[in-house]
Amino acid sequence: MTRQLAITETAYAKINLALHVRRRREDGYHELETLFAFVDAGDVLSARLSDKDRVATVGEFATGIDNPLDNLVAKALTALPRAQGLDITLEKNLPVAAGLGGGSADAGGVFRMVEKVHGLPDDWQARAAKLGADVPCCVRSETVVGRGTGTQLQPAEQDLRDTPVLLVNPRTKLATGPVFNAWDGQDRGALPQGSSRQIALEGRNDLTSPAIELCPAIRDVLDALAGGEAWLSRMSGSGATCFALYENETARDDAAERLRNEHADWWLLAGNLR
């Protein structure tokens, strides 16, 4: 590759189709069982080969990142050995602290960029896990089951590929730590088995109630999504973003138009599952 050749990657939005919190571990983290899925849209990373690493952030939610040089894009670059630097511009389209794994998705995009140019080291999964629990799954951005803190990945059926999805956020930041701290500690059972659709339908998100306590607007979003033709609507991760899955794009687009008319202040993203 030459310095002039640009590399572009989408940092695909991550959603948890189901999220079961089993227990609090002695290390302070929580034992999880989750079904990760990814939307075919998100932040956009553009890069050129450079004499050293650089990161610039633009886009609607760029101001949500306190220090662009200390975000997960910069940390991912530091984590990967390379012969040349990358000058990266991050277009921040996903809201921050929103349950979409935005920073982790950005880091996953960096891993894919480096893979295109230099390849990844054999221990890339361990390097990714050190950056955050969601980063390993975001590197491949495929539907998978996550266990442990979310870093132990197991294959899942890809039967939900191309499913129309609508993401909705009330434009409220919600930090992960306080939501987990507000979890009541009750183990409500294991993640279901079966196809990804079965797991999604029969699963749950154990962080919904504590998240609503901290951010009541989540209940408004869930109520609005339940009023459409979605076959599943649920909060993603620790919130505040919620998602709805549809049988066809017309139903999804009709729901998006209705919500834009009724809640012009909410953030919406329509896409399909990868």
Q: State the catalytic residue, choosing from 14, 53, 75, 106.
A: 14
Give the domain 6-20+39-140 fold.
Ribosomal Protein S5; domain 2 (3.30.230)
* From 53, 134, 173, 223, active-site residue: 134
CATH fold for domain 164-272 = Alpha-Beta Plaits (3.30.70)
Q: How far apart are CA 189 and CA 103, in angstroms?
A: 29
Whole-prediction pTM value? 0.94
Q: Do 91 and 44 contact (CB within 8 A), yes or no?
A: yes
Q: Judging by DSSP bridges, how do beta strands 85-91 and 54-58 pair with one another?
A: parallel
Cβ atoms of residues 99 and 235 within 8 Å:
yes
Take residue 205 and report the two structure tokens written for it.
């998100």
The answer to whether residue 116 is catalytic is: no
Q: Is 134 a catalytic residue?
A: yes
pLDDT at 266: 98
The C-alpha atoms of residue 17 and residue 15 are separated, in whole angstroms, by 6
Domain segments of the chain: what residues? 6-20+39-140, 164-272
pLDDT value of residue 66: 58
pLDDT for the residue 64: 74
Q: Are 104 and 93 in contact (CB under 8 A)?
A: no
Per-residue pLDDT of the chain (274 residues; tens, 9 = 90+): 445 678 999 999 999 999 999 999 988 889 999 999 999 999 999 999 999 999 999 999 998 775 655 589 999 999 999 988 999 999 999 999 999 999 999 999 999 999 999 999 999 999 999 999 999 999 999 999 999 999 999 999 999 999 999 999 999 999 999 999 999 999 999 999 999 999 999 999 999 999 999 999 999 999 999 988 999 999 999 999 999 999 999 999 999 999 999 999 999 999 999 9
pLDDT at 227: 84
